[in-house]
Amino acid sequence: MVFPDIQQEVVLLLCEKNGSDSHLIEHLELRDASDLEKLDVNILKSPSKKIDFKSNKWTYYFLEQEEIDFLEQITKKRKVPTISNYASVEVGITTGANDYFTVPLPVVEAYDLKEYAKPMVGRSVQVNSVIFTEKDWKLNRQTKAKAHLLVFPAKEKINGHKGANSYIRLGESMGVNKGYKTGIRDDWFVIPSIKLSDALFIRRNNLYPRLILNEANAYTTDTMHRVFMKKDTDKNAFIASFYNSLSLAFSEIVGRSYGGGVLELMPSEAGKILLPYQTDNVDLLATIDKMMREKKSIDEILKITNKQILKDGYGFTDKEIKLADSIWKKLSSRRLNRNK
């Protein structure tokens, strides 16, 4: 934030032809404008990092060459699969008006909407572990969180339901029916693409991204992504396989971060995360779930999961595991420090 009145982070990009076919890059980060006075510009004269400009994101170049080479070698030679090999990731349900269609229990009771109210989870704070159970959903419901999604049928099927018609009239008095998404529907209150997913992927994350087993059969809005397992994928093993340093590192690489330190992953980006899946990882899920509920740190969880998922499952050496972990910590720390 060095330019007055411009609310953007700024990159100064200097490009020079060198008369060869090689593509190299160097990056320098300065805390503020005063650091420019101490900048050694000679560093810019001999860039050392090789650019794979066809596939790599810019995030790669915050790493050292050894770390970049390691990640590329893992991708190409170890043939670690990605999330998209085992599941498809889609955006959550687009209601067009989350404040109206997602409601707490008192609203369901006040309008007698029980037959239209489906279990829902819409915020990451409502999920405190790696498995979202029916018990978790009921606890959210009791705390008056917005734990219900209102799924109305077409107008003729509502018939004379007093409460539903009353709630729909309320929406019209609020102008919900004139929204961008609601206004193009035949019946503005009928939400399309109502599908239950096997798992949930938090769209915007803080310390680390989370992939969650949807044991409660809860719907979700576009604040989370829906994850649908492909044939023959063990969903419990799939979820457990995500919690390792390599997958977390690639989450930082393929995702995008904002000034406040939030990591956001869109469905196509989540699908590119390396996932060292093994069916044997299924027995880790209960351990991960228990540790998260006990508020153990992610580092404590990774000490257990890295050994089974990376070392035993994919033959990673201790040095490689340490390197993957340091890459994840470097990138996540850099992201989290952006809001300071």
Q: What is the pLDDT of residues 132-153, one digit of tens each?
A: 999 999 999 999 899 999 999 9
Work out the end-to-end distance of the chain between its first and last CA atoms, rounded to an integer number of angstroms: 12
Asked whether the beta carbons of 246 and 111 are under 8 A apart, the reply is no
For 256, which DSSP code?
A: E
Average pLDDT over residues 48-64: 78
- The more confident residue out of 296 and 41 is 296
Q: What is the pTM of this model?
A: 0.90
231-245 per-position pLDDT tens digit: 999 999 999 999 999
Mean pLDDT of 168-186: 96
> Given pLDDT bands bounded at 50, 70 and 90, which one contains residue 17?
confident
Q: Which residue's structure tokens are 């609601």?
A: 182
**Short-list 93, 70, 63, CA closest to 246:** 70
Bridge partners, 91 (sequence order): 225
DSSP character for 52?
-
Among candidates 253, 275, 329, which has minimal Cα distance to 298? 329
Q: Is residue 10's pLDDT more than 90?
A: no
Q: In what order do the strands lie in the sheet with 263-264?
A: 204-205, 263-264, 256-257
Q: Read off the pLDDT band of 41 (50, 70, 90).
A: confident
Confidence grade of residue 340 (pLDDT, cut at 50, 70, 90): low
SS3 labels along 12-40: CCCCCCCCCCCCEECCCCCCCHHHHHHCC
Count of residues for the chain?
Answer: 340
- Report d(CA 303, CA 323) in Å as an integer: 14
Q: How far apart are CA 16 and CA 102, in angstroms?
A: 53
Task: Return the percentage of the chain with pLDDT > 70, whole number.
Answer: 97
Count of C-beta atoms within a 10 Å radius of residue 285: 21
- Distance in angstroms (rounded) separating the CA atoms of residues 8 and 225: 28
Pair 59, 263: CB distance under 8 Å = no
